[in-house]
Amino acid sequence: MPLFIEHDLHPKFDIQSVNKIVNLVVKDQAMWLTNVRAQLVSNLEEMPRQYKENVDEHWKEQPNFKVGD
């Protein structure tokens, strides 16, 4: 978004084209971004399981209240 605001350009980054990059510095950065993205996806997939595990750990059976208790 900052690149778009400052230079009126919208950067397009194709993860699949990382192997076509000739510049080694750029290739290293692209591989780093690919790895970061993979880690973020993994974390997002794991988050619901961890959330459920935490909630289940602190969940207690509700008492059986009757009218007048």
Number of domains forming the structure of the chain: 1
- Give the Cα separation of 23 and 40 in Å (integer): 26
> How confident is the model over 41-63, as a mean pLDDT?
89
Indicate whether 49 belongs to any domain.
yes
> How confident is the model over 21-44, as a mean pLDDT?
86
pTM: 0.47
Task: Decide which of 47 and 21 is more confident.
Answer: 47
Q: For tokens 């591989």, what's the residue?
A: 31
Residue 62 has pLDDT above 70, yes or no: yes
69 token code pair? 């208790």
Indicate whether 10 belongs to any domain.
no
Question: For position 16, what pLDDT does the model report?
Answer: 61
Domain range for 38 is: 15-57
How far lies 13's CA from each of 9, 19, 53, in Å?
12, 13, 36
Nearest-Å Rg of the Cα atoms of the chain is 24
Quickly count: other Cβ atoms within 10 Å of residue 33's Cβ.
Answer: 13
Work out the pLDDT band at 14, boundaries 50, 70, 90.
low
